[in-house]
Amino acid sequence: MRIVYVLTSLGMGGAEKQALAVAERMEKRGHTVALLVLRPRLAEEWPTTLDTIHMEMRKTPASLFTGLSRARRFLRAFRPDLLHGHSFHANLFARCLGLPFLRRRVISTIHNVFEGGWPRVLAYRLTDPLSQLTVAVSEAVAQRFIHIRAVPAKKCLVITNGIDIAEFAPDPVRRMRIRAELDPASERRDFIWLAAGRVVPAKDYPNLLRAFRQVREALPDVELWIGGAASHSVIEIVVEHGYQEKVRWLGMRREMPTLLDAADAFVSASAWEGMPLAVGEAMAMAKPVVATDVGGVCELVGEAGIAVPPRDSAALAKAMIATVQRSAEERAESGRRARDRIKQQFSIETRADAWEALYRKLLA
């Protein structure tokens, strides 16, 4: 098969990472793969060896017209069997791009329960005839987009995100090394919570920081490490409550297995999600997980972690405190259950199998 994956950018987000993971596995299975990226190159991107064409598009009508023309010239030369879009802008672009190529199958993938307000819902609804199928990354995403009539139920199915269980595997030696590097005061034995993700409204870091203040009041020997760039607004919350020495901003990091090894548990305080990769990666690393019950989190976590209501810092703090107060053996058992769940139900290889089978079915 000849497959073109259409992405808005290669920025350090979960949707982009998952799309690349699937695309790279399709190439390894002998398919011819290319990436069509709408935005110009970013300072921080996921690395890839796949053939990549940047459209260098910006938010102007002229840029859109130029991008469409350039992309269509590429398609005429590449002659794909499938166009596979990921997230709102790339989905719409793939649908419009496929219009002159009626024999080309177009698939849209929605990665979040919220991709924008009613204008975007209307855009999805109006362009749906240009897409053969819409795939959601969780049942929660599928049900919401069917409910708001952005996608007809008969053209929507679910293929959940997948985790590379070989890459995300606990390593005791690596844990000791990174703890020593990031926490030179090795005589301290603080319990370390890790959170990860871009500082955007969806991740709701203010909720996490308010919860952590309550955790610190109950348990002084606890730290919060955040794999993401700090913003002025969230730093103000930390400074206001005077616990900045217990919150460490690690910046944008690609070596998530290393950071997860160093941590004792993982926390996610999101206000909305699709199916968060970071939570699945923490589970694969055998970490106890506390996460807000948004999107497909409960589908992912099951009984292997703790889910609490979103935007409820007291409930989040209570779950975090309870996790710290459990015995080391209990936390280890929780981590083992989490990793087993990912291996059995959410490995990236089984997700790649599902995508490949879907591609063949559509082309048949």
DSSP per position, 107-158:
EEEE-BS---SHHHHHHHHHHGGG-SEEEESSHHHHHHHHHTTSS-GGGEEE
CA angle, 100 then 104 then 110, to 5°: 100
**20 forms bridges with which residues in the sheet?**
none
Taking phi first (over 0 means left), then psi (-120 to 50 degrees means alpha), and beta for anything else, what does residue 286 get? left
Query: 185 lies in a domain?
Result: yes
Q: What is the pLDDT of residue 236?
A: 65
How far apart CA 48 and CA 223 sit, in angstroms, is 34
Tokens found for residue 172: 């005791």
Domain count, the chain: 2
Residue 38, SS3 per DSSP: coil
Q: Say which CATH number the domain at 357 has.
A: 3.40.50.2000
Are residues 298 and 224 part of one domain? yes
Are residues 257 and 187 part of one domain? yes
Q: What is the pLDDT of residue 364?
A: 87
Are residues 87 and 118 part of one domain? yes
Are residues 207 and 155 part of one domain? no
Domain that holds residue 77: 2-162+347-363
Tokens found for residue 205: 């870091």
Contact 305, 288 (CB under 8 A): yes
First vs last Cα of the chain: how many Å apart? 12
Are residues 351 and 341 part of one domain? no
Sort strands 247-249 and 306-308 into parallel, antiparallel or unpaired.
Answer: unpaired
In Å, the largest CA–CA distance within the chain is: 66
Are residues 178 and 153 part of one domain? no
Going by C-alpha positions, the residue among 312, 114, 119 that lies closest to residue 201 is 114
How far apart CA 284 and CA 348 sit, in angstroms, is 11
Query: 212 lies in a domain?
Result: yes
Q: What is the pLDDT of residue 238?
A: 60
How far apart CA 23 and CA 35 sit, in angstroms, is 8
**At 142, phi and psi to the nearest 5?**
-60, -50
How far apart CA 247 and CA 254 sit, in angstroms, is 20
Residue 196, SS3 per DSSP: strand
Query: 303 lies in a domain?
Result: yes
Are residues 306 and 224 part of one domain? yes
How far apart CA 45 and CA 252 sit, in angstroms, is 10
How far apart CA 355 and CA 357 sit, in angstroms, is 5
Q: What is the pLDDT of residue 320?
A: 98
How far apart CA 137 and CA 296 sit, in angstroms, is 8
Are residues 143 and 62 part of one domain? yes
Question: Which pTM was predicted?
Answer: 0.92
Are residues 205 and 244 part of one domain? yes
Residue 230, SS3 per DSSP: coil
Tokens found for residue 15: 């949707």
Query: 167 lies in a domain?
Result: no
Are residues 226 and 311 part of one domain? yes
CA dihedral 38, 44, 50, 54 (to 10 degrees): 20
Going by C-alpha positions, the residue among 142, 87, 140, 84 that lies closest to residue 110 is 87
Tokens found for residue 215: 């955790």
Q: What is the pLDDT of residue 187?
A: 46
Per run of 10 residues, the mean pLDDT along the chain (length 364 residues) is 96 93 97 96 91 89 84 91 96 86 81 95 95 96 97 97 96 88 65 90 91 92 84 62 72 85 96 96 98 97 96 97 96 96 97 97 91
Are residues 241 and 129 part of one domain? no
Are residues 152 and 16 part of one domain? yes
